[in-house]
Amino acid sequence: MPELPEVETIVRGLIPRLTGRRIVAAEFPCQRVLRSPMDGLAGLRIDGVRRSGKFIVFTFDNRRSLEIHLGMTGKLLVNGEPGPYTRALFTLEDGLLLYDDVRQFGRLELSSAGGRGRTAALGPDPLELDAESFVREVRARRSRIKPLLLNQGFLRGLGNIYTDEALHRAEIHPLALSSRLSRPRCLRLHESIRQVLLESIEHGGSSISDYVDAEGRRGGFQSLHRVYGREGQPCMVCGTPVRRIVVAQRGTHFCPRCQRR
DNA sequence: CTTAATGTTCCCCA
DNA sequence: TTGGGGAACATTAA
């Protein structure tokens, strides 16, 4: 569900509500979403909340950290009502933090003191990676460009929506070979990725079906998507109907005229 | 009834 | 070693 802009929006909402608060109690009605034992959370103070790719990371006063991945339908809600899909429940000094997840694809993992856990294996953040490094890395790989951008070990944070949107802005076919993209084309892709992510963050992310921020509000960027979810509708640039194919088992939307192979 | 959905992981094959 | 394809996970909505 949530890609970089959605997770960034959630984290920005969590920071003022959680920083400095202590966890009074933690309950886990659903074992499936736990990737590690959850012992010892009660009494810990939340020192920081940050985003790492699509992960939300809490750091505590004992130097341990909690990494949360929202999967497809995960939500972190401040002061929400517990319901049938509440998979974790944190009682804080001044309120409740809920982890709701209909499909249970999300994961919670407590990592050791000072350890970076799962996020250590991720590629660079697309908003921090400089253009030259991006060009070099893309051209060094031999992969179709869409699966490469979805690979979290290559770049952290892009998912199905923003990959399609960025490739359309850069006029690159999703099946183009990364090693054969020209330098200017790669530079344009780097800039397209940055722009689409930053614009989406400004609009609070995209709400397709499930996504809401920490306060339960939907995002607004979905109405500005140029190809994602717009199969058959005219391309906003040239008017050609947007086409949908399947790439890496994901629905893939592109303009067959603007994005030639 | 069938298909698709913002994601990741694991297994097998080339 | 790298990359591609498919299945699996669980649930809902169209």
A105 touches strand C (CB under 7 A): yes
A261 is a domain residue: no
pLDDT tens digits, one per residue of A172-221: 999 999 999 999 999 999 999 999 999 999 999 999 988 999 999 999 99
A37 is catalytic: no
Same domain as A98, residue A184: no
**Nearest nucleotide (C1') to the CA of residue A153?**
B8
Give, in Å, how far the C1' of B14 lies from the CA of A179. Answer: 19
Q: Which of A121, A138, A120 is nearest to A129 (CA)?
A: A138
Q: A237 and A138, same structural domain?
A: yes
Q: What angle do CA A146, A148, A136 make, to 5 degrees?
A: 120
CATH for A221: 1.10.8.50
To the query of whether residue A250 is one of the catalytic residues in this protein, the response is yes
Same domain, A72 and A180: no
Q: What pLDDT, on the 0 to 100 scale, is given for residue A209? A: 84
Q: Is residue A24 located within the same domain as residue A138? A: no
* Position A144 in a domain: yes
Check whether residue A97 and residue A171 sit in a common domain: no
Are both A147 and A81 inside the same structural domain? Answer: no
Nucleotide nearest to A30 (CA to C1'): C10
Dist CA A181 CA A186 (whole Å)? 6
Smallest CA–C1' distance to C6, residue: A249
- Strand C contacted by A104 CB (< 7 A): yes
| Phi then psi dihedrals of residue A194, to 5 deg | -55, -50
**pLDDT > 90 fraction of chain A, expressed in percent and rounded:** 95
Number of H helices, E strands in chain A: 5, 10
What domain range is A91 assigned to? Answer: 4-121
Residue A126 lies in a domain: no
What is the average per-residue pLDDT within A35-42?
96
The set of residues, in sequence order, having a beta carbon less than 8 Å from that of A121 and lying 6+ positions away, is: A153
Task: Look at residue A96 and tell me if it is in a domain.
Answer: yes
> From the CA of A95, how many Å to the C1' of B12?
49
Phi, psi of A31 (to 5 degrees): -70, -30
Instruction: Please tell me whether residues A105 and A30 are part of one structural domain.
Output: yes
Give domain status of residue A260, yes or no: no
Phi-psi category of A195—alpha, beta or left, where left has phi over 0 and alpha has psi -120 to 50?
A: alpha
A220 plus A240 within the same structural domain: yes
- What are A211-250's pLDDT values in tens digits? 999 999 999 999 999 999 999 999 999 999 999 999 999 9
Distance, Å, A216 CA → B5 C1': 20
Positions on chain C within 7 A of a protein C-beta: 2-13
Can you give the distance from the CA of residue A248 to the C1' of nucleotide C6 in angstroms? 10
In the 8-state DSSP scheme, what is residue A117? G
Q: Is the CB of A102 under 7 A from strand C?
A: yes
**A177 with A236, same domain?**
yes
The whole-number Å distance from A248's CA to C7's C1' is: 13
Q: Which of A96, A121, A146 is the last residue of a domain?
A: A121
Could you check: is the Cβ of residue A45 within 7 Å of any atom of nucleic acid strand C?
no
pLDDT value at residue A116: 73
Amino acid at A115: G
Residue in A5, A8, A54, A87 annotated catalytic = A54
CATH at residue A18 = 3.20.190.10
Alpha helices in chain A (DSSP H): 4-18, 131-140, 145-150, 160-169, 183-202
A93 is catalytic: no
How far is it, in rounded angstroms, from Cα A164 to Cα A225? 9
Final residue before a domain boundary, out of A101, A121, A141: A121
Count of structural domains, chain A: 2
The confidence score (pLDDT) of residue A1 equals 63
- Answer whether residue A6 shows pLDDT above 80: yes
Q: A191 and A109 in one domain?
A: no
pLDDT at site A114: 76
A9-14: average pLDDT: 98
Any atom of strand C under 7 A from CB of A143? yes
User: Would you say residue A259 lies in a domain?
Assistant: no
Q: Which residues contact A16 (CB under 8 A, 6 or more apart)?
A: none
| pLDDT exceeds cutoff 90 at A115 | no
**Other CB atoms closer than 10 Å to residue A189's CB: what's the count?**
25
The domain boundary, picked from A89, A121, A153, lies at A121
Query: In the prediction, which pLDDT does A230 show?
Result: 97
In A12-35, which positions are buried (b, 16+ CB within 10 angstroms) versus exposed (e)? ebbeebbeebebeebebeeeebeb
Provide the whole-model pTM.
Answer: 0.97
Q: Is the CB of A34 under 7 A from strand C?
A: no
The residue annotated as part of the active site, out of A17, A141, A250, A257, is A250
pLDDT over 70 for what percent of chain A?
A: 100
> Which amino acid, A30?
C
**Residue A172 is assigned to a structural domain of this protein:** yes
Q: Does residue A74 lie within any of the structural domains?
A: yes
